[in-house]
Amino acid sequence: MERTRKQKQKNKYKVSGLKRAILSAAAAAAAALVVLWAPFQRLEYTFADSLFIKHRPVDNRIKIIGIDEESQQELGPFSGWTRQQAADLLNAFDPEHAPAVIAFDINYFGERDSQGDDALAKAASQYEYVVMASYLDYSARLEQLPDGSYYMNTMYVQQIEKPYEALFAVTRHGFTNTVQDSDNYVRRTLFSAESEGSREYSFAWTIYSSYMENQGGQPVFPETDDRGVYGFDYTAEPGMYELYSYADVVAGRCDVRVFQDSIVLVGAYASGMMDQYMAPVARSTVMNGVEVQANHVNALLDGRTYTNIATWLSVLITASIVFAYTWLACGGHFALNLVGAAVLELAVPLTARLLYSNGLYWRCLTAVVAVAVVFLAQLAFGYLTERFRKYRILQMFRTYMAPQVVDELSKSGNYQIELGGRSSQIAVLFVDIRGFTSMSEGLPPDQVVGILNRYLGRVTEAIFKNDGTLDKFIGDAVMAVYNAPVDVEDYMVKAVRTGIDIIRSVESLNDELERDFGCRIGCGVGIHWGKAVVGNIGCDFRMDYTAIGDTVNVAERLESIAKPGQVLISEQLYEQVKDQFRAEYIGEQELKGRQDKVAAFTVEF
């Protein structure tokens, strides 16, 4: 019978098979729609960036020559430069210690002045691997798929703008267009594009493949999606690549031998040149375009490129995870639900990161959030159900039990009413008014009640202030325990502090009593510490939560010999609190009902 009761308790939140299947399917369908609709795409990108992006040491083969503020101050604003300045840079290199690749992330489209144009073409012809920037002009065009349907191609390349003819003939070139995601961050690029029979490759790929050719190696082609797009993994935030000022190189203030066998990228490094992008590796700032290209080349050198997993596969994976976990959550086993959620919340991001390291990009936030939502929903359902159950039990208890007991049950969460107790280390405090009986004989009953209520109110406040438990009122006496029914930190110190607070509070109360009733009161406090049995004491139809044992008896006897305004504590308690309070030893005291004397101390305050 006990096993049956426990089994029912264990499965009380379990959902029936049909409802379980419906809820699981509904949750999976909702997750699938979120993946397809992507309403939180920007948030998903942010989460993926934090999961995937990892700062690494930059490749020291990559160096940047930046057109910075100092270069423009020395050579004039960049808008006024001719091709001669580019020729001067190329001529500044030492042919015997030449870079492996020199790449200009600058547009040199169309002829401008013949002298400067010829100078740049001539200077570039000295080196085998000079890469210039081209640019793709996109437009939208209606195109037909193999199945006969039509779609709007928004990435149709209408034209490829290339370097002017003389420079085109002696250099290599690649387009510098970026692919910006919906949050305007650059994570991907188009691998190649074709227009009017001419195929152009990306700027970074052209640099990388030229370098591999220079070094006698074979470039590794990145995997792309059906549009020819792939992503690249960033290496470092702005300012991490080795940087040289354009003006310093041209003026000979830089030892150009440092560029030997390196990949040198030349580009804008001043904010006014409007060549800056948002990069996931540096979310708090922008990155110069030449640094984006440096990170791109670095990724190609290290083989750190990726493609998005297919949408249908992302939907399938996410829906399967959500369906499986929802089915588990509806089983009603909280511990199993918690473990399942924890495993999935860890396994899903780790799987996404593993896929990323193997060239597959999966935005897994929907799966992570969906598992958390299902777990919290089941937790909320269980909580509300349990609260309702307890409320019904409490309402039933109130019909035949004292309100104080019901409140204690509500706080402790112990809804099994039974007799018995447990042995615990506690501190017990007793306080009583001195001469109350004789005083009450000379006062009207209503005044006695008024005095007693004010006094008991002050005592109760002191007990609750110090985390004590009010055990009972015994006429004008009060009993309190500490460290029961729940554990209390520093409970022995708090018990002594309660005694001090009571004496001080009663002293301040006397001014009111003398004004209103023409009398004053005094009380004594006794406190002891030790083992006692605490729990429900009584019979099946009437019980009280209290403490019993010698510890309680000693505390009561100490209170009985305490003088007005005195707090007496036992030697056992004194040893525990002597670092916190000053106390005077008053000798061994004979206590009523005990054969052995008790060493007592009076607390000084």
Residue 392 scores a pLDDT above 70: no
Q: Tokens 């004397």 label which residue? A: 597
Reduced to 3 states, what is the DSSP secondary structure of residue 301? helix
Q: How far apart are CA 568 and CA 584, in angstroms?
A: 10
Q: pLDDT: is 553 or 146 the higher one?
A: 553
Q: Which residues pair with 477 in a beta bridge?
A: 474
Residue 92 scores a pLDDT above 90: yes
Outline where DSSP puts E strands in 176-313.
179-180, 186-190, 192-195, 198-201, 229-232, 242-245, 263-268, 276-279, 282-288, 305-308
Task: Give the pLDDT of residue 227.
Answer: 86
Task: Give the pLDDT of residue 486.
Answer: 75
Cα dihedral 590→592→598→601 (10° resolution)? -80
Cα dihedral 248→249→253→256 (10° resolution)? 150
Q: Tokens 């159950």 label which residue? A: 389
Residue 274 scores a pLDDT above 60: yes
Q: How far apart are CA 455 and CA 445, in angstroms?
A: 15
Mean pLDDT across the chain: 89
Q: How far apart are CA 157 and CA 201, in angstroms?
A: 13
Per-residue pLDDT tens digits for 25-69: 999 999 999 999 989 999 999 999 999 998 899 999 999 999 999
Q: What are phi and psi of 103, to 5 degrees?
A: -125, 130
565 φψ region: left (φ > 0), alpha (ψ -120 to 50), beta (else): left
Kindly list the distances between the CA atom of residue 20 and the CA atoms of 34, 344, 361, in Å, as whole numbers in the listed order.
21, 19, 32
Residue 9 scores a pLDDT above 50: no
Are 561 and 602 in contact, with CB atoms under 8 Å apart? no
Per-residue pLDDT tens digits for 513-569: 989 888 899 999 999 999 999 887 776 566 677 899 999 999 999 999 999 999 999
Q: pLDDT: is 209 or 196 the higher one?
A: 209
The kind and range of the H/E element at 113 are none
pLDDT tier at 140 (50, 70, 90 boundaries)?
confident
Task: Give the pLDDT of residue 502.
Answer: 97
Residue 17 scores a pLDDT above 90: no
pLDDT tier at 174 (50, 70, 90 boundaries)?
very high
Across 59-73, 142-156, 387-401, least confident range: 387-401
Residue 401 scores a pLDDT above 70: no
Tell me how long the chain is.
605
Kindly list the distances between the CA atom of residue 56 and the CA atoms of 186, 295, 350, 507, in Å, as whole numbers in the listed order.
18, 11, 19, 71
197 φψ region: left (φ > 0), alpha (ψ -120 to 50), beta (else): left
Q: Which residues pair with 530 in a beta bridge?
A: 426
Residue 8 scores a pLDDT above 50: no
What DSSP string describes 319-353?
HHHHHHHHHHHTT--HHHHHHHHHHHHHHHHHHHH
Q: Which residues pair with 101 in a beta bridge?
A: 263
Q: Tokens 């795409």 label which residue? A: 41
Residue 92 one-letter amino acid: A
Residue 254 scores a pLDDT above 80: yes
In 3D, which of 55, 26, 39, 27 has the Cα closest to residue 365?
39
Close Cβ partners of 183 (under 8 Å, ≥ 6 residues apart):
41, 42, 45, 46, 278
Report residue 117 as tokens. Answer: 């144009």
Residue 601 scores a pLDDT above 90: yes
The kind and range of the H/E element at 294 are helix 289-302
Q: What percent of the chain has pLDDT over 70?
A: 92
Task: Give the pLDDT of residue 332.
Answer: 73
What DSSP string describes 392-434?
HHHHHHTTTS-HHHHHHHHHH-------EEEEEEEEEEEEEET
H-assigned helices in 93-181 = 114-124, 165-170
Q: How far apart are CA 582 and CA 585, in angstroms?
A: 10
Of the CA atoms within 13 Å of residue 555, those in its CB half-sphere come to 30
Across 36-50, 378-392, 494-508, least confident range: 378-392
∠ CA 542-548-552, rounded to 5°? 135
Q: How far apart are CA 225 and CA 366, in angstroms?
A: 22
Residue 397 scores a pLDDT above 70: no
Q: How far apart are CA 129 and CA 214, in angstroms?
A: 8
pLDDT tier at 403 (50, 70, 90 boundaries)?
very low
H-assigned helices in 178-259 = 203-214, 246-250
Whole-model pTM: value is 0.64
222: cis peptide before it, omega within 30°? no
Per-residue pLDDT tens digits for 455-492: 999 999 999 899 888 888 998 999 999 988 778 899 99
Close Cβ partners of 105 (under 8 Å, ≥ 6 residues apart):
133, 176, 203, 265, 266, 267, 268, 275, 289, 290, 293
Q: Tokens 């169309």 label which residue? A: 110
Across 129-133, 156-160, 390-394, least confident range: 390-394
Task: Give the pLDDT of residue 475.
Answer: 87
pLDDT tier at 289 (50, 70, 90 boundaries)?
very high
Task: Give the pLDDT of residue 157.
Answer: 86
Report residue 225 as tokens. Answer: 């999606």
Kindly list the distances between the CA atom of residue 375 and the CA atoms of 8, 10, 354, in Å, as whole numbers in the listed order.
21, 17, 25
Q: How far apart are CA 327 and CA 307, in angstroms?
A: 32
Task: Give the pLDDT of residue 422.
Answer: 84
What is the arithmetic mean of pLDDT over 415-427?
72
Residue 395 scores a pLDDT above 80: no
Are 554 and 588 in contact, with CB atoms under 8 Å apart? no
Report residue 88 as tokens. Answer: 């001067």
Q: Tokens 């397809």 label which residue? A: 36
What DSSP string describes 13-79?
TPPPHHHHHHHHHHHHHHHHHHHHH-TTHHHHHHHHHHHH----PPPTTEEEEEE-HHHHHHH--GG
pLDDT tier at 198 (50, 70, 90 boundaries)?
confident
Q: How far apart are CA 431 and CA 5, in angstroms?
A: 45
Per-residue pLDDT tens digits for 296-336: 999 999 999 999 999 999 999 999 999 999 999 988 788 89
Across 383-387, 395-399, 503-507, 525-529, least confident range: 395-399
What's the Rg (C-alpha) of the chain? 42
Task: Give the pLDDT of residue 583.
Answer: 96
Report residue 87 as tokens. Answer: 């020729």
Report residue 93 as tokens. Answer: 């290199």
